[in-house]
Amino acid sequence: MSQTWWRGTAIYQVYLRSFADGNGDGFGDLAGLRGRLPYLKELGIGAIWLNPWYPSPMADGGYDVADYRDIEPVFGTLAEAEKFIAEAHELDIKVIIDVVPNHSSTESAWFKQALSDRSVRERFWFRDEPNDWKSIFGGSAWTQVADGQWYLHLFAPEQPDFNWENPEVHREFEDVLRFWFDRGVDGFRVDSAALLFKSEDSYEDLDAVHDVYRRWREIADSYGERILIGEVWLPDQERFARYLRPDELHTAFNFDFLSCPWDPAELRRVIDLTLATHTPIGAPPTWVLSNHDVTRPVTRYGRADTTFAHGGALHGTPSDLELGYRRARAAALLAMALPGCVYVYQGEELGLPEVENLPDAVRQDPMYARSGGANPGRDGCRVPLPWSGEEPPFGFGPAMSTATPWLPQPEAWRKLTAEAQAADLGSMLNLYRSALALRRDLLGDGTLTWLPLGGPDVLAFTRESGLTCVVNLGSEPVRLPPGEVLLASGPLEDGSLPPDTAAWLS
């Protein structure tokens, strides 16, 4: 079993705009994040992944990058980013940043140049006639420019797709990787990793993409232990696994697990499938319950249909938040006990629910506008974190700041602030802290052995360290096997594990 950090660590996802506001303008920033590094250290994570921090008009929350070698002024400066990296490293926390190779911003130097100079349009996909492709955010995937040509954008019109047939694009991104590796980042999360190449009839998973990642892997390896994490949404496990061959990306997000309903047979199927996909190629699995694109688990698990559905299909369907909260606690212990890496999306450790009643006027996700309001978009999982105090902005900004956070926080979050939860031993925050601490010594990289225990509604397995995880997804309490209970997601009943509860035993 390899001991390399990236095979088993807990990675905390920071959505910078919504994490902590250091300068009092209502937007999270690097100053806010630096100030909260002790919180993250105490939480017990091993790495931070930041969503794009580059200069951006924010047409898609920063996934419209105007300059890959600088920092968005609302977030701070390049010098501050370097300080942040150094401070995180002092605390033994790795830093992973987002790289967005599929598309750029209409405000990037390259695109502005392409508009005025036809000779450099081959960096993008300009055509005299559009085809019938639809944008993933709704509407056509083509937008016309003043001289009559059209350019391709798989996402918003502000996000023109790069043309990866052009060697200049390869050179550019290889240089961008080096730029940030030279500044100490420990890895990249590769946005839309399967979309780079286009053919006449497809823009997904074309074989040429693998040569790009082989080259990137050489670059990462030349710096020592730096890693590449793929955002690869592919239903076909065999195709998915190709991205994780030993000379390509190190890991990829497990979206099957994230989308899986709260159902014992389905969860077991996904876990087995994940292990069967990863083990033969030696790549560590990852376990993801949420991120900045999906409904928060507390809300999702409280619904009658507990799958994650794209396009906001389940938005606003009734959710029993108490039930969802109980299940989210159990799911956290399950995810953290499984072999491989685990992700924690900011606010997950506070048990925040999805904010489903944002006023339409404040919604910023392009999915909302481009679907004509049919899709509420992803703002509901991006609401600024509640840190302390009794009312909004809940310590999101500096003490005397009167700025309103860029999305409004629900009043009810007074019970969910980090401050309130730190003082409550039974809180979600303290569950995450305890679990992450145990996980560091007893879990992470490796394998599992299923235990035949409690019938089909129970997931039970043991890990190399001897730690046993039992999750009860049925409707009756389950007798626990012998052993000391190290941690449980809820109170036990006479030594039995109640429904929607998980326990770790030694």
Catalytic residue IDs: 191, 231
Q: Mark 260-272 as b/e (b = at least 16 C-beta within 10 Å).
A: bbbebebbbebbe
Q: How far is CA 190 from the centre of its chain?
A: 11
Among residues 29, 186, 191, 500, which is the contact residue for ligand NOJ, using CB under 6 A?
Answer: 191
SS3 state of residue 340: coil
- Measure Cα distances from 370 to 137, 314, 383, 439 in Å: 6, 18, 20, 42
Max Cα distance, the chain (Å):
75
Least distance from ligand NOJ to the Cβ atom of residue 410, Å = 22
User: Of 63 and 150, which CB lies nearer to ligand NOJ in the complex structure?
Assistant: 63
Residue whose C-alpha is closest to residue 411's, from 443, 430, 389, 438 = 389
Chain positions 410 to 449 lying near ligand NOJ, rule: CB under 6 A, are none
Least distance from ligand NOJ to the Cβ atom of residue 303, Å = 22
By CB under 6 A, tell whether 155 contacts ligand NOJ. Answer: yes
Q: Mark 422-446 as b/e (b = at least 16 C-beta within 10 Å).
A: eeeeebbbebbbbbbebbeebbbbb
CB closest to ligand NOJ, residue no:
63
Least distance from ligand NOJ to the Cβ atom of residue 480, Å = 39
Least distance from ligand NOJ to the Cβ atom of residue 378, Å = 7
Chain positions 214 to 233 lying near ligand NOJ, rule: CB under 6 A, are 231
Among residues 158, 161, 293, 348, which is the contact residue for ligand NOJ, using CB under 6 A?
Answer: 293
User: Of 155 and 197, which CB lies nearer to ligand NOJ in the complex structure?
Assistant: 155
What is the rounded distance in angstroms from the CA atom of residue 376 to the CA atom of residue 314? 10
User: Of 234 and 478, which CB lies nearer to ligand NOJ in the complex structure?
Assistant: 234
Among residues 9, 13, 192, 251, which is the contact residue for ligand NOJ, using CB under 6 A?
Answer: 192
Contact 26, 408 (CB under 8 A): no
Least distance from ligand NOJ to the Cβ atom of residue 60, Å = 5
What is the rounded distance in angstroms from the CA atom of residue 154 to the CA atom of residue 162? 10
Half-sphere exposure of 72 (CA within 13 A, CB side): 25
Contact 158, 106 (CB under 8 A): yes
By CB under 6 A, tell whether 60 contacts ligand NOJ. Answer: yes
User: Of 108 and 489, which CB lies nearer to ligand NOJ in the complex structure?
Assistant: 108
Please give the size of the binding site for ligand NOJ, defined by CB under 6 A: 9
| Dihedral angle of Cα 389, 394, 400, 401, to the nearest 10 degrees | -170
Task: Judge residue 464's burial from the number of C-beta atoms within 10 Å of its C-beta, 0-12 exposed, 13-18 middle, 19 or more buried.
Answer: middle
Site string for ligand NOJ, 243-282 (x = CB under 6 A): ----------------------------------------
Number of Cβ within 10 Å of residue 37's Cβ equals 16
SS (HEC) of 403-425: CCCCCCCCHHHHHHCHHHHHCCC
User: Of 292 and 326, which CB lies nearer to ligand NOJ in the complex structure?
Assistant: 292
User: Of 151 and 155, which CB lies nearer to ligand NOJ in the complex structure?
Assistant: 155
Tokens in use for 32? 């806010």
User: Of 15 and 287, which CB lies nearer to ligand NOJ in the complex structure?
Assistant: 15
Q: Supply the DSSP string of 220-246, one letter for each residue.
A: HHHTSS-EEEE----S-HHHHHHTTST
Least distance from ligand NOJ to the Cβ atom of residue 373, Å = 18
User: Of 100 and 470, which CB lies nearer to ligand NOJ in the complex structure?
Assistant: 100
Site string for ligand NOJ, 89-128 (x = CB under 6 A): -----------x----------------------------
Chain positions 129 to 148 lying near ligand NOJ, rule: CB under 6 A, are none
Tokens in use for 139? 């509407």
Least distance from ligand NOJ to the Cβ atom of residue 424, Å = 32
User: Of 230 and 490, which CB lies nearer to ligand NOJ in the complex structure?
Assistant: 230
Least distance from ligand NOJ to the Cβ atom of residue 367, Å = 8
Among residues 63, 111, 308, 394, which is the contact residue for ligand NOJ, using CB under 6 A?
Answer: 63
Contact 120, 110 (CB under 8 A): yes
Chain positions 463 to 502 lying near ligand NOJ, rule: CB under 6 A, are none
DSSP assignment, residue 160?
A: P
By CB under 6 A, tell whether 68 contacts ligand NOJ. Answer: no
Least distance from ligand NOJ to the Cβ atom of residue 98, Å = 8
What is the rounded distance in angstroms from the CA atom of residue 189 to the CA atom of residue 53? 13
Binding site for ligand NOJ (CB under 6 A): 60, 63, 100, 155, 191-192, 231, 292-293
